[in-house]
Amino acid sequence: MKRVKLNYFTKTKWKKRLMTTAGAMLLAGVILGTPGKAEAAQPHSSYWYPDTLLEWSPATDKDAAFNRGTVKLQKDRFLGEIVNPNAKPEAKAIALSSMFPSTSGAPSQGSEKFHTYTFSFWQYIDKLVMWGGSAGEGLIVSPSADVIDAAHKNGVPVYGTVFLPQTEHGGKLEWMHDLLQQREDGTFPVADKLVEAARYYGFDGWFINQETQGASKEDAADMQRFLAYLQKIKGSELEIIWYDSMINEGNIKWQGALTDKNQMFFQNGTQRVSDSMFLDFRWQYKDEVNGKYDYVTPYLNSPMKANELGRSPYDLFAGIDVEANGYEGSYNWPILFPDGKKATTSLGIYRPDWAFNSSETNEQYMDKEEMFWVGPGGNPSVGTTADLDGAKAGDPYAWRGIAYDIADKSVISGTEFITHFNTGNGHMFAVNGKVMREKDWSNRSLQDILPTWRWISESGGTGKALTPDFDYTKSYYGGSSLKVTGDLSSDNPTQVKLYKTNIPVAATTELSLIYQDNAAVEGAVQIGVSFSDAPEETVFFQPKKWTTAGDEGSWKEGSVQLNKYKGRTISSISLKFVSSKPVAGYEAFIGELAVTQKQDKAKQPKVVTGLKVTENDFRDGIYGDARLAWEAPKDGSDVQYYQVYRVKPDGAYELMGMTGNTVYYVPEMKRLNKETATKMVVIPVNRQYEQGKPASVTFNWPAYPKPIAAFEADRTLIAPGESVQFTDKSSEVTEGWVWSFPGGEPSSSTEQNPKVTYKEEGSFEVTLKAVNEVGEDVVKRQMITVTKEAAGGVSDLALGKKATASSYVNEKEAPPFALDGDDKTKWCAVGDAPHTLTVDLGAEHKISEFVIKHAEAGGEAAAFNTRSFRIQLSMDGENWTDSVQVTDNAKGVSKHAIALTSARYARLVVEKPTQGGDTAARIYGFEVMGLK
């Protein structure tokens, strides 16, 4: 493949838009002067309430263009060979997955984080619902662009969520009425907007979940008319999925089956109302002893009911709830998938993102994900509960892997297929074997079609088969590769079966492979294919010639022609690892595996046009981000991605990201060597990963700033002879520090983070001067109190005291739970901010510090940590003084030392409850530290 050198730039000018950010974090006695991360330009995926959706328009939403999927749904998905004999080919599966930690703050085009939910077992699901919505954020959630792209690439339609929550979770009946509002002509304006949003963003329909209690029979009729209207206007390209919750009387009564009470939302005579229905989880349960309830029988009658309505029973998805226990739960598989018979209905999986949410590391997540989808045997062709340990071994209700019951599907059916085993995240990003980025990243849009079978690894001899897995230390293109490890010898030639395919072989069909390994001789890796007319037989090919590829020739590249097999169809692709000599600790990294047509070369893309910076934000004078926009090159049909680079002052290229879109948000960049301007470059990449010509644009940095002095102390109240650790919090441009500590030892310092001992009682001042070549800044505070009263330490004065709040969700999340010393309980308030929590300490006390335990401290997502808040003190509970003001907290536990202050009352004022748009306050602890 032709490689284009990165040394050509087009010159364009741009009109700069400068948006400055300002903010301060004030502590009485401690000043933190650094404002928050520059992120005003960060686009996020959309979410609405019914009334705000009516106000939405892509013409006025500046984030809308970033949220458009760019991959069309691959509709040639096929079943092919079924590797697990237990799988039911007629059954489908739907996943309701929360693809982000919260409804708000979901980045449109990936992030700078490696450990993200890069779901990749698309072969086992037929539909994906991007689950989300909450009373405090928004009820209508659109799939993000990267989720749309990844799903469509694998032939899986993806759906947004309309969620009307239960009243105990903040639901309001008025929101349902807002959804169902009608014009005089009988049309539904919110339905029109739902269709408009799906078509504009490029996803495939909506999942409707109405669980708000208190609706009437007429409301149920309105809901049916709403769904029927959606059917009328949506066209054949969109689908509507209904959740089994509301019944014909309007109340919420989950059926766990298709019954006379909920059929009106599925089918009404000859009129299709919804395209599918997700049955509530209770279908699994029956009281065999007391006969108090029986959900199994109505469920087993559901297929007959569906047939009576002229519908397929596989339009019904029997739900299992895996949010809490994942594969450690117990599920009624025999009812859903009876042995020797067809599946009763299809399968619905609620929150398979459990595998990610219950993991602390990416490695742990990948292991859990494999167990979830493949099963305990680690091989999709043989999964069974017999591989479980202890009491669950052979238990028909224990987890056996989705692959045991759901047959895998594939979209690899064209004449060309290229994979780099890129999972959609990495610690670096390589382009043709050269690392062009050395920072963490994730973007599901860039995920390759990954192996169909994970993993089928078989030894052709007596030795142990090699072990395949993904690796994030080496990559030929992207952030990962396929790694195969083990002891290789002539006793264990290992075949790793990878992909299910349906590729016709032409006279010009070519197999190619790029890899590197630690074998002493070349040729340890062979490419294997089976053909549809002989699927049990794999033919292996070994390129006769290997050439070097990649940076410094560290990769080997070879290919073979398949003209001899013209007219046959490739049904699977494998790799085989062989060696005539023992290789202990063998490692092979597969960087690219491809099937191409030798005469069908993709066109080299032409340069993009109209490249411009549409928005910049700058922080502290040394951090900046940018939104870029451009027009696709003419005749750009072969363009698959656009690479976005930053050119450093030394001329080196750093990859900022890739997208299939013609807009891109470049995350915050650090200014290098006091540069005055930065050049951004966009290079189109064709379907064979060859680069076109680059275009460039430049933005200017603001004047280099002088420092802003700021610091904090680990405590402000101490006993004589104790020490205080000071931590510099000055702006990053600071080049020198001059401290003054009257009464302390030492009395001055030029260290960045000095430690000072105070031997005498008293109140002492601290001064910090921060300097650089541009200027200096001084901050001075009377803040350290030394008293013998502190010899016994400080206590939490708020523990167990009386607390009141502006609001709270229910008695289990009331104000006292923020003061009980238990990190598992919380005060939670919903509705519009600000939210207040007021504590009566019972008497006047001397206060020196506050500790707040936010959502993450209680086990919730960091996205729910309080962003902006104030802490106030008062003697009478009427007149309040600010002691702490924070505008950019992201921590799960935040500590705020203040100069010793006397007060009886303390009040926490939550101004921005979360990192995103959720307006619910979540406080697991509010400690007021001081002297008793």
pLDDT score, position 476: 98
β-pairing verdict for 795-796 and 925-931 = antiparallel
703-742: per-residue pLDDT in tens? 999 999 999 999 999 999 999 999 999 999 999 999 999 9
Instruction: Give me the half-sphere count of Cα atoms (radius 13 Å) on the Cβ side of residue 428.
Output: 16
pLDDT score, position 183: 97
pLDDT score, position 383: 66
Rounded Cα distance between 578 and 525, Å, is: 7
Residue 23 has pLDDT above 80, yes or no: no
746 upstream amide cis, omega within 30 of 0: yes
Residue 40 has pLDDT above 60, yes or no: no
- pTM value is 0.88
Task: Assign 880 a pLDDT band (cuts: 50, 70, 90).
Answer: very high
Rounded Cα distance between 128 and 92, Å, is: 12
Strand partners, 20: 618
Residue 393 has pLDDT above 50, yes or no: yes
Cβ atoms of 261 and 255 within 8 Å: the answer is yes
CA dist list (Å): 130 to 47, 355, 786, 857: 12, 16, 56, 26
Residue 434 has pLDDT above 70, yes or no: yes
Rounded Cα distance between 698 and 314, Å, is: 55
Task: Assign 562 a pLDDT band (cuts: 50, 70, 90).
Answer: very high
Residue 39 has pLDDT above 60, yes or no: no
Cβ atoms of 50 and 650 within 8 Å: the answer is no
Residue 8 has pLDDT above 90, yes or no: no
> In the predicted model, what is the mean pLDDT of residues 79-97?
96
Question: Which sign does the torsion angle of CA 465, 469, 473, 477 carry?
Answer: positive
- The percent of the chain in helix, strand and coil, each rounded to the nearest 5, is 15, 40, 45
Rounded Cα distance between 912 and 917, Å, is: 9
pLDDT score, position 523: 55
Rounded Cα distance between 811 and 813, Å, is: 5
812-862: per-residue pLDDT in tens? 999 999 999 999 999 999 888 999 999 999 999 999 999 999 999 999 888
Coil, helix or strand at residue 563: helix
What mean pLDDT value characterizes the chain? 92
β-pairing verdict for 158-164 and 205-210 = parallel
pLDDT score, position 29: 29
Q: Within the chain, how many helices (H) and strands (E) appear?
A: 10, 56
511-526: per-residue pLDDT in tens? 999 999 998 765 589 9
Residue 24 has pLDDT above 60, yes or no: no
Rounded Cα distance between 103 and 514, Å, is: 40
Calculated CA dihedral for residues 688, 689, 692, 697, nearest 10 degrees: 150
Q: At what angle do helices 217-234 and 189-201 cross, to 10 degrees?
A: 40
Cα angle, residue 212 at apex, residues 208 and 213 outer, rounded to 5°: 140
Residue 598 has pLDDT above 60, yes or no: yes
Contacts of 629 (CB under 8 A, 6+ apart): 65, 610, 611, 612, 614, 662, 663
> In the predicted model, what is the mean pLDDT of residues 91-111?
95
Residue 25 has pLDDT above 60, yes or no: no
